[in-house]
Structure 1
Amino acid sequence: MSDGIRCMLLRGGSSKGAYFLAADLPAGPAERNELLLRVMGSPDERQIDGLGGGHPLTSKVAVVAPSADPEADVDYLFLQVVPDRAIVTAAQTCGNLLAGVGPFAIERGLVPAAGDPTTVRIRIVNPAVSLVEARVRTPGGRVRYDGDTVMAGTPFPAAPIDLAFPGGPDPAFPTGARTDQLAGLTVTCVDAGMPVVLLRAADLGLDGTEDPADLEARTELRATLEAVRLAAGPAMGLGDVRDTTVPKLSIVSPPRHGGTVTTRTFIPHRVHAAIGVLGAVSVAVAVRTPGTVAPYAGDPVVRVEHPSGTFDVGVELEPDGAATRVRRSTVVRTARKIFDGLVWPRSGRATG
């Protein structure tokens, strides 16, 4: 470690993270996670001694490796490093960092640039294995990061990256119902790649357009939402979620700016400045299914309004009702390489 560890920092979607080849990290999860705490600067709410930015959206890690699956080119493991606690969790994936996996795989030589665009087949390995295709712009055989695609949640345009998710065999509503009663509230539990609990803003005494900082400052609201989340864990088959970052909680209300639904998403304790990719897919599934707590819309493209703009999600479902499965979903994201080089972890074990 005295010679540094090869690392690339990328903005992926509306998040930012450190990307590593699996071969450049310890093979054992415990040793790897302890190292990543020191790389990212946890536990410390500012992460002043590492790469992390003091927020869950900027304290993320992607680990990429060649895939043994004939249907994939690379494996992608997402790790959430908690800023102020010595916790690294693989309990969920991250659709935002996913946007940077294709460019990273091409940059590291795992996938050759083939025409323009180059398709990278990615196997997401946490927690349930799933596949996704990323189409990366590669004019002249090099990844192009600059472009004109403006993505809400990030202030500057970049080249588009098309992500297509095939559906899975499991129902999108893990409790077997389109609504459930949890901690005294009517909610919808949905998992279309990200476990999410949807709640009506009106049921919480909210308008639904509140600023994230306002929502985070409401102690009673946060306690109510945590009670719902803890009840949702066993109901969704996730077990005790006290020390995990799933499920997320999305507060939904009618659209205000020509979209389909307005959202405010707890991830799970801070409020997202936008919305996560797979979280948006889960919200879109609820919107496309009658009888959930979300406003219903039959259009196959769902425009999700969030604190910093909108996010379009294409969703194909089969069949209807509580047994609904996702046949296919599509989104457009962007990514940008920030640096490529070596990172030196702080010395000493991470405690706290």
Structure 2
Amino acid sequence: MTQTAIPYLFMRGGTSRGPYFKRADLPEDPETLAQVLIGVLGSGHPLNIDGIGGGAAVTTKVAMLSPSDDAWADVDYFFAQVSVEDRQVDFKPTCGNILSGVGPAALEMGLLAPTGDLTEVKIRAVNTGARVLARVQTPGGVLSYDGDTEIAGVPGTGAPVALNFMGVVGSSTGAFLPTGNLRDNFDGIEVTCMDVAMPMVIARAADFGLSGHESAAELDANRGFFARMEALRLKAGAAMGMGDVSTSVTPKFGLLAPARAGGTIACRYFMPWNAHPSMAVTGAQCLASCALTPGSVADGLLERPAQGPADMVLEHASGMIEVLVDYDMAEGFTLKSAGLLRTARKLADGRVFVPSRIWQGP
């Protein structure tokens, strides 16, 4: 055989999609694993023509699942972001949209069994150590993808997957404010560097001469903005203790602006070299936390609720996303948990193939 077959599920999770694997079905060695994932997705071509990627960062994501040895968790979720064109794999971040499919995928894979009409799946995101409780619809003990829940960026409706994120403050850098400051100034632009679920550099859209309501396509066409943003991101990443981030997708970048469509605040999220067509689940938690934090760059852009929990509605490039943030203001902003509602759907299952020269199998 000149190709190696690997069992997989192909799933949409939130507004992303990609292959879901059992970790045991993939190579242990990180370098070989990266080459296998590059081969699976077809990284190295703008259309991912020789793989199952979709030619966009939201369609070149990978979930790898295994039974957890954590006393709290049922399932370990190991995430990989595969680049579209430059054959790189980043194992540092996690992805909350892909995480939306982890509970259903774990049930599909037999990693745990349904426990009634609603099954709780305790997930450890091994990239960051975050703990997430997913509530999956299993009426009559049968996994269901059908329902009336809509999420912006996905056509139609589906069964709700409720996610409650815990222990996400400082999950990558060890600190809520990795630079130690509520605001920093790089290249004449004020930013808030924050680590809640995802390390981010957050600025006001107006400081770049933007409204914050541009479409993803309009932002992607503004290469002058991307050049300024990337130079700033590199300096901020170093200041956050993350070293040289020139080849890493973290920290991510975000823009804030006053809401226009009835939401709490307007946001744009970057992956970071393209505008996200909607919003990342992890990014939504960080942006909502920034919006709620007095003294951050969000000051003056919204009316903050007096106390938590707060239902934050973020306007993004495809619509809105709601984040229920439970927090305490007794000693400054202290995040307790953040909850979101997503949907997921199994698109295909079977075996995906990579050339045996890359890996000959377990």
- CA-to-partner distance for each residue in 1:27-79, whole Å, 9 max, x for gaps? 11111111111111111111001010011000000000000011000100110
Alignment of 1:9-28 (within 5 A): 9-28=10-29
Which residue pairs with 1:330 in the alignment?
A: 339
Matched, 1:165 2:174: no
232, 236, 239: which is aligned to 1:232? 236
8 Å Cα contact 2:6-2:351 kept in structure 1: yes
CA contact (8 A) 2:55 2:84 kept: yes
- Find 2:179's aligned residue among 175, 181, 190: 175
Matches of 2:292 and 2:48, distance apart in 1: 40
Answer yes or no: is 1:343 the counterpart of 2:352.
yes
The structure 2 residue matched to 1:292, chosen from 291, 296, 319, is 296
Contact 1:89 1:244 in 2 (8 A): yes
Deviation at 1:140, TM superposition (A): 2.4
- Aligned to 2:343, the other structure's residue is in SS state strand
| 2:216–2:277 Cα contact (<8 Å) kept | yes
SS for the counterpart of 1:4 is strand
Code of the aligned partner of 2:77: Y
Cα distance between partner residues in 2 of 1:200 and 1:287: 11
Q: Is the 8 A contact 2:258 2:302 kept in 1?
A: no
Maintained 8 Å contact 1:260/1:303 = yes
Q: Describe the superposition over 1:70-98 as per-residue Cα deviations: whole angstroms up to 9, x where unpaired.
A: 10001001100001011111110000000
Give 1:298's aligned amino acid.
R
Mapped contact 1:179–1:292 kept (Cα < 8 A): yes
* Equivalent residue number for residue 79 of structure 2: 78
State the distance in 2 between where 1:168 and 1:84 align: 30
Q: Specify the code of the residue in structure 1 equivalent to 2:287.
A: V
Unaligned runs of 5+ in 2: none
Letter of the structure 1 residue corresponding to residue 132 of structure 2: V
Contact 1:167–1:329 (CA under 8 A) maintained in structure 2: no
Matches within 5 A, 1:119-268: 119-126=120-127, 128-168=128-168, 170=170, 171-268=175-272
The correspondence for 1:314, drawn from 320, 324, 330, is: 324
Q: State the alpha-carbon separation in 2 of the partners of residues 226 and 3 from structure 1.
A: 38
TM-score by length of 1: 0.95
Secondary structure (helix, strand or coil) at the match of 1:153 reads: coil
> For the residues of structure 1 that align with 2:348 and 2:304, how far apart are their CA atoms?
43
Q: Deviations over 1:270-325 (max 9, x none)?
A: 1011110010000000111112112244331110000111000011223467x643
Residue aligning to 1:273: 277
CA contact (8 A) 2:168 2:197 kept: no
C-alpha contact 1:56 1:82 (8 A) present in aligned 2:
yes
Q: Spell out, residue by residue over 1:114-169, the C-alpha distance to the aligned partner (whole angstroms, 9 max, x if none).
A: 0111000000011x311110000011222111111000111121100000012356
Judged with a 3 Å threshold, the aligned counterparts in structure 2 of structure 1 residues 324 and 238 are, in CA distance, closer, same or farther, namely farther
In 2, Cα distance between equivalents of 1:55 and 1:289: 32
Alignment match, 1:36: 37
Q: 1 CA distance for matches of 2:6 and 2:356?
A: 14
Whichever residue aligns with residue 61 of structure 1, its letter is V
Contact kept? 1:64, 1:74, Cα under 8 Å:
yes
The residue correspondences of 1:59-138 to structure 2 (distance < 5 A) are: 59-126=60-127, 128-138=128-138
Whole-Å Cα distance in 2 between the matches of residues 345 and 173 of structure 1? 42
Partners of 1:124 and 1:34 lie apart in 2 by 22
Q: Tell me, in whole angstroms, the C-alpha distance in 1 between the residues paired with 2:223 and 2:248.
A: 20
Preserved contact between residue 62 and residue 79 of structure 2 (Cα < 8 Å): yes
Aligned equivalents of 1:169 and 1:211: distance in 2?
Answer: 30
Cα distance in 2 for partners of 1:53, 1:65 equals: 25
Partner Cα separation in structure 1 for residue 168 and residue 214 of structure 2 = 34
Query: In the aligned structure 1, how far is the partner of 2:204 from the partner of 2:110?
Result: 46
**SS of the residue aligned with 2:274?**
coil
Deviations, residues 173-227 of structure 1 (Å, cap 9, x unaligned) = 2222211101220011111110111111111111111111111111211110001
2:161–2:344 CA contact under 8 A, matched in 1: yes
Residue type of the alignment partner of 1:345: V
| CA pair 264-320 structure 1, distance change in 2 beyond 3 A | farther
Give me the TM-score of the superposition, normalised by structure 2.
0.93
